[in-house]
Chain A
Amino acid sequence: QKEVEQNSGPLSVPEGAIASLNCTYSDRGSQSFFWYRQYSGKSPELIMFIYSNGDKEDGRFTAQLNKASQYVSLLIRDSQPSDSATYLCAVNPDNYGQNFVFGPGTRLSVLP
């Protein structure tokens, strides 16, 4: 069974700090990796996706992928209270469909 694991948190960081969110996955053949942000009671919102080993930066967000270690992370620089949410890691088992496998999410709290 394909699994995606995340620390459930809560992860608390002070405003302005770097928040580091981690995700591991079991299916070595997985191709694409996504980070979604979900505010309480709302739907998941795409933050970033990555499919090549290394780092990918978008504004304050950096996704890091290491396929050999089956590990993907999300760094949030200059964390803001508005970043407080649950961050979901999603893994696409292949490049041609179909369903994502989601982790349970990590709850991030940015303290003013």
Chain B
Amino acid sequence: DTGVSQNPRHKITKRGQNVTFRCDPISEHNRLYWYRQTLGQGPEFLTYFQNEAQLEKSRLLSDRFSAERPKGSFSTLEIQRTEQGDSAMYLCASSVTLTVPDKNIQYFGAGTRLSVL
């Protein structure tokens, strides 16, 4: 395993449909993050897992968004009833918990580009 893997790379959907993305982190990394990035902007934090526990969620993560990491390995991000405003690149990153001090270096996957028509 050489990096963070995300599938699919591209997703085109119609407004109102549900979509699910998958992220496989670097194998020894216990932390997993989801970000959303729109054109010309930096990534915006959505949510974060440590092992299987979802520890933090951004206010950007509306009720239509849900993320899981059931076994502390891969994670899924689901968007229900997609809207055109959901069109963006969805990035996954992973990191390993270091002891002292925690540098929290996050390594990113290639992303899933979502287009909502």
A residues within 8 Å of B by Cβ? Answer: 4, 8, 31-32, 34, 36, 42-46, 49, 51, 88, 90, 92, 95-105
* A37 vs B84: C-alpha distance when bound (angstroms): 28
> B106 contacts which chain A residues (CB < 8 A)?
34, 46, 90, 100
Contact indicator A51/B108 (Cβ below 8 Å): no
- Total B residues in contact with A, Cβ cutoff 8 Å: 26
Contact indicator B41/A104 (Cβ below 8 Å): yes
> A8 contacts which chain B residues (CB < 8 A)?
40
* A96 vs B103: C-alpha distance when bound (angstroms): 8
Per-residue contact bits, chain B 24-61, to A (CB 8 Å; 1 contact, 0 not): 00000001010100001111110010100001101000
> B35 contacts which chain A residues (CB < 8 A)?
102
Contact indicator B108/A45 (Cβ below 8 Å): yes
> A43 contacts which chain B residues (CB < 8 A)?
91, 108-111
> A98 contacts which chain B residues (CB < 8 A)?
48, 55-56, 104
Could you tell me the dominant secondary structure of chain A's interface residues? loop
B residues within 8 Å of A by Cβ? Answer: 31, 33, 35, 40-45, 48, 50, 55-56, 58, 91, 101-111
* A45 vs B44: C-alpha distance when bound (angstroms): 16
Contact indicator A46/B103 (Cβ below 8 Å): no
Name B42's contact: one of A32, A42, A99, A104 (CB within 8 Å): A104
Contact indicator B103/A100 (Cβ below 8 Å): no
Closest to A94 in B: B102
> A96 contacts which chain B residues (CB < 8 A)?
102, 104
Contact indicator A88/B42 (Cβ below 8 Å): yes
